Amino acid sequence: METRHIDIKVEVASSLDELETADRELVMRAQKAASRAYAPYSQFNVGACLLLENGEMIEGNNQENASYPCGCCAERTALNYARSKFPGTAVETIAIAAFNSDGQMNTPIPPCGICRQALLECEADSGRPIRVIMNGKSLTNIVHSVADLLPLSFDKKNLNE
Ligand code: THU
């Protein structure tokens, strides 16, 4: 049996000043979107902002529910809106940020597993990588493809082979 290694490249910024202007704007919009989250159960307010290939920026935040599983993450709130308003339009970048009652989370906020899967479908459909900017108060991580966050993933190719 052979052993294979999967490497991913992560860029790490210790200040938003290190980001490109367009990326910084996405992060700031994600932070703002978090302030409009509906998260009375977790008190964990997440915001996301997508940049589409047509230049549109789409914001979303987490929407919780008394029936907990009914809630939706910020990333999928934004992604589903983008895909319903602009079907077939590639997503270039998503930025994510989160806050609790003490303020912004220190560490970069990664998308959960379900959101990774949802983003992967979009990435596979467009054939273009989606950059993921995970913003935290003290660090920001950037990966250049959702596939990097979901190695050995399941997608529609597995259904049809
Ligand atoms: N949440 C997100 O919106 N995005 C993530 O990537 C992680 C988790 C939300 C779901 C729930 O409303 C709250 O954060 C706590 O898990």
In a domain, 6, yes or no: no
| pLDDT score for 118 | 98
Per-residue 3-state assignment (H helix, E strand, C coil) for 108-146: CCCCCHHHHHHHHHHHHHHCCCCEEEEECCCCEEEECCH
pLDDT tens digits for 86-98? 999 999 999 999 9
Question: Quick check: is 157 in a domain?
Answer: no
* 71 in contact with ligand 1, CB cutoff 6 A: yes
Sign of CA dihedral 11, 144, 81, 158: negative
Question: How much is the average pLDDT of 148-158?
Answer: 95
Give the total number of structural domains in the chain. Answer: 1
For 41-57, what is the mean pLDDT?
Answer: 98
Q: Tens digits of per-residue pLDDT, 59-88? A: 999 999 999 999 999 999 999 999 999 999
Residue 15 lies in a domain: yes
Could you tell me the distance, in angstroms and rounded to a whole number, from the CA of residue 110 to the centre of ligand 1?
Answer: 10
In this prediction, residues 8-20 reach a mean pLDDT of 97
Atom of ligand 1 nearest to the CA of 63: 12
The ligand 1 atom at the shortest distance from the C-alpha of residue 39 is 12
Is residue 100 a part of any domain in this protein? yes
Kindly tell me if the per-residue pLDDT of 161 is higher than 90. no
Phi, psi dihedrals of residue 49, rounded to the nearest 5°: -140, 130
* 156 domain-assigned: no
Of the chain, the percentage scoring pLDDT greater than 90 comes to: 98
C-beta 73 within 6 A of ligand 1: yes
Q: Look at the block and give the residue holding tokens 């529609």.
A: 156
Cβ-in-10-Å burial (0-12, 13-18, 19+) of 112 comes to: middle
Indicate yes or no: pTM above 0.95.
yes
Asked whether residue 67 is assigned to any structural domain, the reply reads yes
**Left (φ > 0), alpha (ψ -120 to 50) or beta: where does 125 sit?**
alpha
Residue 71 lies in a domain: yes
Cα angle value 8/27/130 (rounded, 5°): 40
Q: Is residue 22 part of a domain?
A: yes
Length of the chain: 161
Compute, in angstroms, the gap from residue 71 CA to the centroid of ligand 1: 9
Q: Give pLDDT, residue 7.
A: 96
| Whole-number average pLDDT of the chain | 97
> Per residue in 31-41, pLDDT tens?
999 999 999 99
pLDDT at 1: 96
100-142 confidence digits (pLDDT tens): 999 999 999 999 999 999 999 999 999 999 999 999 999 999 9
Q: For position 120, what pLDDT does the model report?
A: 98
Long-range contact pairs involving 44-47 (C-beta distance under 8 Å, separation at least 24): 44/98, 44/99, 44/100, 45/98, 45/99, 45/100, 46/73, 46/74, 46/75, 46/96, 46/97, 46/98, 46/109, 47/74, 47/96, 47/97, 47/98
* CATH code for the domain of 33: 3.40.140.10
Q: Which uninterrupted H or E stretch holds 93? A: strand 91-100
Q: How far apart are CA 32 and CA 90, in angstroms?
A: 23
Range of the domain at 143: 11-148
